[in-house]
């Protein structure tokens, strides 16, 4: 398997630290609002990575954290007059629901910042004891970047970059020193510590939780892969790496992977620009599977320009897979097609090359349609196709719906309920051997421009083109 390493700026062969085991950590959401397309892009990128590593035979321990204590969370709780625990629980659950709709596999571990404060305090104490951090007279603790000779080696950034100055203070030794612990005296939520009441710095959270949940013993690296959005490379991941390096004498990760941005009509998505696209809004108009397919269709490192036109083009492509699935829906038995499975896995093993993977899927769809046009009862082709679609779902996470349910998306609910009711009445008539009534109901259904098909999986229907 090959992946693009953001630090080496090159595609490199992936070799796990422990044979057939992988420790993967991805920065998760700060839970103060609903999930947006940017959250989906990151979650889907590393969902694909997790699926691919697993299919390659690795036992993957995948952690994605939840930041449930942060200045933005506190600001939101004050503005809405809500308890912080109530607020973060609501948005954590909301995030999980959205990820389920996108068919994102749940990580092995989802550690929360608030459940690991003691571990963060221990890490700060180590950094103070080793003279890599210092406590100021006002109760803040800062990391001294001059004490880390490898600082900026992760992001290859310039030392004159001022992005670290999240919290300004005249008591800092260096302008770019970043906060490990922030003294809190405004009455908002705080935690007891040897440094006084306060809250941990954002960068500290990930370093502490990685060491607690994932750190590999007797290795020069704490974990195999650290991932996140490309906007996190500096300062967040740079500062994480510095904290871990100076507290453990290990590098944080052997490999670093970062996904691209989401753009809305050629503008980078951001709340400040007012073009943040929440997933719940997207799901109102579109099948969540289509959103998944659209966001993974381009390479994970590239920025995705979200437009209605390109979304419709993705739907046409996904429809083809479901049209094929409907042609083999009555086939129960599966027959492995190892050639197709191998070539699909090889594509994803090449730095998650979705463009290549989808070209193989397109070819499979076209070839099978041609074969079934010649012989619609070709048992081998049908059984291999059922198996191939199942493998596509396992590896890429698409094609998992009943094809007839898939094509109902966007139809009037009253219309759907009416057809389903008529089908139940027809089934009851058939059970009573009232075939005259059964045929009458079928004719009435077909007058509504609906095609019925009786399969071993039950009676299914779709609107005629």
User: Which structure tokens are listed for 4?
Assistant: 């693009």
Helix axis angle, 338-349 to 379-396, nearest 10°: 20
Are residues 85 and 229 both part of a single domain?
yes
Looking up residue 340, the CATH number of its domain turns out to be 1.20.120
> In this structure, are residues 387 and 335 in contact, taking their beta carbons and an 8 Å threshold?
yes
Bigger pLDDT: 419 or 111?
Answer: 111
Are residues 77 and 101 both part of a single domain?
yes
Residue finishing a domain among 242, 263, 284: 263
Are residues 25 and 43 both part of a single domain?
yes
Looking up residue 39, the CATH number of its domain turns out to be 3.40.50.620
Whether residue 299 lies inside any domain: the answer is no
Question: Does the pLDDT of residue 36 top 90, yes or no?
Answer: yes
Domain containing 449 equals 413-463
Lowest-pLDDT choice from 13-27, 28-42, 155-169, 348-362: 155-169
How large is the average pLDDT for residues 75-103? Answer: 96
**Which tens digit of pLDDT belongs to each residue from 261-278?**
998 876 665 555 555 589
Lowest-pLDDT choice from 20-29, 98-107, 363-372, 407-416: 407-416
Are residues 37 and 84 both part of a single domain?
yes
pLDDT at 158: 57
Are residues 392 and 435 both part of a single domain?
no
pLDDT-based confidence at residue 164 (cuts at 50, 70, 90): very low
Global pTM value: 0.91
- Residues 30 and 64: their CA atoms lie apart, in Å, by 11
pLDDT-based confidence at residue 457 (cuts at 50, 70, 90): low
Are residues 372 and 450 both part of a single domain?
no
Closest Cα to residue 374, out of 421, 320, 314, 327? Answer: 327
Average pLDDT of the chain to the nearest whole number: 93
Residue finishing a domain among 358, 390, 406: 406
Are residues 207 and 96 both part of a single domain?
yes
Count of the separate structural domains present in the chain = 3
How large is the average pLDDT for residues 175-198? Answer: 94
Are residues 188 and 234 both part of a single domain?
yes
pLDDT-based confidence at residue 455 (cuts at 50, 70, 90): confident
Are residues 232 and 102 both part of a single domain?
yes
> In this structure, are residues 236 and 228 in contact, taking their beta carbons and an 8 Å threshold?
yes
How large is the average pLDDT for residues 144-163? Answer: 80
Q: What is the DSSP string of 251-316?
A: EEEEEEEEE--EEETTEE--TTTT---BHHHHHHHS-HHHHHHHHHHS-TTSPEEE-HHHHHHHHH
Question: Does the pLDDT of residue 165 top 60, yes or no?
Answer: no
Whether residue 297 lies inside any domain: the answer is no
Are residues 28 and 159 both part of a single domain?
yes
All residues at 6 or more sequence positions from 187 whose CB lies less than 8 Å from its CB, including other chains = none
Are residues 402 and 425 both part of a single domain?
no
- Residues 264 and 284: their CA atoms lie apart, in Å, by 17
- Residues 29 and 40: their CA atoms lie apart, in Å, by 10
Residue finishing a domain among 200, 230, 263: 263
Whether residue 294 lies inside any domain: the answer is no
Question: Does the pLDDT of residue 143 top 80, yes or no?
Answer: yes
How large is the average pLDDT for residues 91-112? Answer: 98
Percent of the chain with pLDDT over 90: 84
């Amino acid at each position: 398997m090959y992946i693009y390493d953001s630090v080496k700026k090159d595609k490199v062969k992936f070799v796990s630290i422990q044979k057939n085991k992988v420790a993967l950590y991805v920065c998760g959401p700060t839970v103060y609002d609903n999930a947006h397309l940017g959250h989906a892009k990151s979650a889907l990128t590393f969902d694909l990575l997790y699926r691919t590593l697993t299919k390659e035979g690795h036992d993957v321990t995948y952690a994605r954290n939840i930041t449930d204590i942060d200045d933005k969370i506190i600001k939101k709780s004050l503005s809405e007059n809500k308890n912080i625990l109530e607020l973060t629980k609501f948005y954590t659950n909301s995030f999980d629901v959205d990820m389920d709709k996108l068919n994102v596999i749940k990580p092995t571990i989802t550690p929360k910042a608030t459940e690991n404060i003691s571990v963060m305090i221990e890490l700060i104490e180590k950094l103070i004891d080793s003279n890599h951090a210092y406590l100021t007279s006002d109760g803040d603790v800062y990391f001294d970047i001059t004490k880390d000779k490898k600082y900026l080696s992760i992001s290859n950034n310039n030392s004159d970059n001022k992005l670290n100055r999240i919290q300004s203070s005249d008591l800092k030794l260096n302008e770019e020193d970043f906060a490990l612990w922030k003294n809190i005296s405004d009455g908002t939520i705080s935690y007891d510590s040897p440094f006084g009441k306060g809250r941990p710095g954002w960068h500290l959270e990930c370093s502490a939780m990685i060491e607690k949940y994932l750190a590999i013993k007797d290795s020069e690296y704490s974990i195999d892969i650290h991932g996140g959005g490309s906007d996190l490379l500096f300062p967040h991941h740079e500062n994480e790496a510095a904290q871990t390096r100076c507290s453990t004498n290990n590098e944080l990760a052997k490999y670093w992977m970062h996904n691209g941005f989401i753009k809305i009509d050629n503008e980078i998505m951001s709340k400040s620009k007012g073009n943040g696209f929440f997933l719940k809004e997207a799901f109102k108009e579109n099948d969540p599977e289509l959103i998944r397919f659209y966001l993974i269709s381009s390479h994970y490192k590239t920025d995705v320009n979200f437009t209605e036109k390109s979304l419709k083009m993705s739907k046409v492509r996904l429809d083809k897979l479901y049209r094929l699935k409907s042609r083999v829906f009555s086939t129960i038995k599966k027959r492995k097609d190892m050639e197709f499975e191998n070539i699909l896995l090889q594509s994803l093993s090449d730095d998650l090359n979705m463009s290549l993977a989808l070209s193989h899927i397109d070819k499979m769809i076209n070839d099978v349609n041609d074969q079934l046009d010649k012989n619609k009862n070709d048992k081998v082709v049908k059984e291999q196709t059922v198996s191939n679609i199942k493998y596509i779902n396992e590896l890429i996470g698409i094609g998992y719906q009943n094809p007839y349910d898939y094509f109902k998306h966007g139809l009037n609910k009253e219309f759907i309920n009416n057809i389903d009711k008529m089908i139940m009445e027809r089934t009851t008539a058939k059970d009573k051997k009232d075939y005259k009534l059964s045929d009458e109901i079928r004719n009435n259904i077909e007058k509504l421009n609906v095609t019925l098909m009786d399969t071993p999986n039950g009676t299914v229907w779709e609107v005629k083109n």
